[in-house]
Amino acid sequence: MRFSIKTLGPGLLFSGAAIGVSHLIQSTRAGADFGLGLLWALLLVNVFKFPFFQFGPRYASATGESLLEGHKN
């Protein structure tokens, strides 16, 4: 199977929009400045961030409206 950019689909665009340049720049700078000293903070932030990432799809599935529509109400 030959690889092409089309095989990645919209996932590549979504991940690029979700991550963003600021995340890439700041995370590499923090790694250079602090090394593994902030690894505990990374784990803690992801534990607290996970429920918020779960809320969006669950809300949309339960109500049948998008997050934008729910935010307007």
pLDDT tens-digit series, residues 29-70: 888 899 889 889 888 988 888 888 888 888 888 999 888 888
Residue 2 lies in a domain: no
* pLDDT tens track for 25-35: 787 888 889 98
> Is position 60 within any domain?
yes
Residue 32 is part of which domain span?
A: 9-72
Task: Tell me the Cα Rg of the chain.
Answer: 17
The answer to the question of residue 51 being in a domain is yes
CB 62 within 8 A of CB 69: no
Specify the length of the chain in residues.
73
4 in any annotated domain: no
Structure tokens at 72: 């307007």
Q: Give the total number of structural domains in the chain.
A: 1
Is residue 41 in some structural domain?
yes
pTM comes to: 0.47
